[in-house]
Structure 1
């Protein structure tokens, strides 16, 4: 899954793809480099991020999704927690909804139940983006994250959403300390065994600056790719990445060496 942030303030690429023409060209480049899905986001969810109005988010993403749906032969995902924008994005051609709030907004579950052709990513987040990193706290991060995802999955299936449409994401970096993140990454196999398809997004995140020395996001590529390979080996179904070419090449090497399918 290639990341396409059409925002001015995302932690790694804010402002790079704010203009629709630049966003479309970057998405095409990621497709050519091996992306299977393009994930379009119009509101930053980095720690401390300010909220964005529905109209502003709509102006940022809908024209891009319309263009990509007409030009690309791979699925387009909308990264949003707003049900109204989910509906607009699906109407524009999105085939996946990637929600950091796990469809907890009023009306989101019902909306998705009415669109059986759309896949859904349910992510765990403790708190909200503006405050989530102030004091993350768990007794048992793996069991608490898994229980939350199970609860959200059950709510969805009880509303008529087929389980095969659902992907879960433990939310690395979303209301977690470094040790929480590492513990969840070690538990990737457990999550896959319990839930089936798991999405992991570690690309360029601040955990690498904590582990390897302070460095800006664009200097975290190698660490991101290496961690993505460990996640793939543990069974993660979708890797959400900024650096598609490097990740795809690493997956090809891993496949050749291990004879596994990635």
Structure 2
């Protein structure tokens, strides 16, 4: 029976004897939870974790697209679509899109994630030519004029190829490289970093009664399998981000379970991306209305992710999230001299 190991992250001092760095970053752990599908969880010393797993939990993550994976990087969301759940239509105009990208970069985003196809529940598939037309202009302008890493959020190889030609340097696939068989070989040939996300079903069907045996372990197994497939296709393991896919084929309880135990995914040996900004479960729990009223809840989830060692946090509200993270860091580790 397979055993999974979830480190219990801590920060600050003092560190107990035997404490180990989490993913080579500032957090540490001295205990882990051993998880099995057929027995109760058990807390064990970190030193009792098998060596191969312990290496993946502790090894320093390589930079991705020029971003240091030893600290939290904010990925700013830029939807150049008419129908995204939070800001559909607001940045469909290329000039508005570039202006928003510039604001997010100035506010502290290390990556701008550009998407031309909404993946909200119930969304229709966008024709390839139309998706390319939406993303290429903004990506080229951002890459040439703002100087920040640009990610293309797409499931389709032709869109990714056009975006890479325009200056994108990371491919973010919400379908986990299962939608278009040509996408992984393209990324391998171009040797660009990728983000592989878990989703149950496609946008049109994913919220139709999603179910799991154990959402944490099922998502872990899916991501582990997709990492192996991407490596076999020629991608470097240290250039793969993993995303558990909050809100993509999950109930509210599934989302909360994944968030609570998100440190489990450090066991994949890849940086973790968390994308929960403004999602419906935040509004449901906080009893707020439209997506643009979910700022406080979104920042709360982002801070939780940071405390669990998440390396990339995908957000709409870059400035507010950066401010919250700055205060968290100052409380935990103090300010540098002269700050």
TM-score normalized by the length of structure 2: 0.75
Farther-moved stretch of structure 1 (217-226 vs 185-194): 185-194
Alignment of 1:208-227 (within 5 A): 208-227=282-301
2:103 maps to 29
Alignment of 1:28-107 (within 5 A): 28-104=102-178, 105-107=180-182
Q: Secondary structure at the match of 2:196?
A: strand
2:230 maps to 156
**Paired residues of 1:40 and 1:79 also in contact (CA < 8 A):** yes
Structure 1 or 2: larger strand share?
A: 2
Q: Secondary structure at the match of 1:248?
A: helix
| Aligned-residue offset at 1:119 | 1.2
2:189 maps to 114
1:194 and 1:61 mapped to 2: Cα distance?
31
Unmatched segments (≥5 aa) in structure 2: 1-74
Q: Secondary structure at the match of 1:191?
A: helix
1:146 and 1:31 mapped to 2: Cα distance?
32
1:202 maps to 276
**Paired residues of 1:168 and 1:195 also in contact (CA < 8 A):** no
2:69 maps to none
1:256 aligns with 2:330: yes
Deviations 1:137-181 (A, max 9, x none): 001001100000000000011111100110000000000000000
2:89 and 2:239 mapped to 1: Cα distance?
32
From 239, 254, 260, the equivalent of 1:186 is 260
Q: Secondary structure at the match of 1:125?
A: coil
From 309, 333, 337, the equivalent of 1:235 is 309
1:80 and 1:111 mapped to 2: Cα distance?
13
Q: Which structure has the greater CA radius of gyration?
A: 2
**Paired residues of 2:272 and 2:310 also in contact (CA < 8 A):** yes
**Paired residues of 1:127 and 1:175 also in contact (CA < 8 A):** yes
**Paired residues of 1:101 and 1:123 also in contact (CA < 8 A):** yes
From 181, 199, 209, the equivalent of 1:135 is 209
Unmatched segments (≥5 aa) in structure 1: none
2:245 and 2:204 mapped to 1: Cα distance?
15
Q: Secondary structure at the match of 2:298?
A: helix
**Paired residues of 2:142 and 2:148 also in contact (CA < 8 A):** no
1:244 maps to 318
**Paired residues of 2:227 and 2:237 also in contact (CA < 8 A):** yes
The number of residues matched between the two structures is: 260
Q: Secondary structure at the match of 1:3?
A: strand
TM-score normalized by the length of structure 1: 0.97
Distance 1:17 1:131, change over 3 A: same
Q: Secondary structure at the match of 1:240?
A: strand
Deviations 1:79-113 (A, max 9, x none): 00001111110111000001001112121111111
Farther-moved stretch of structure 1 (188-197 vs 224-233): 188-197
1:80 and 1:176 mapped to 2: Cα distance?
20
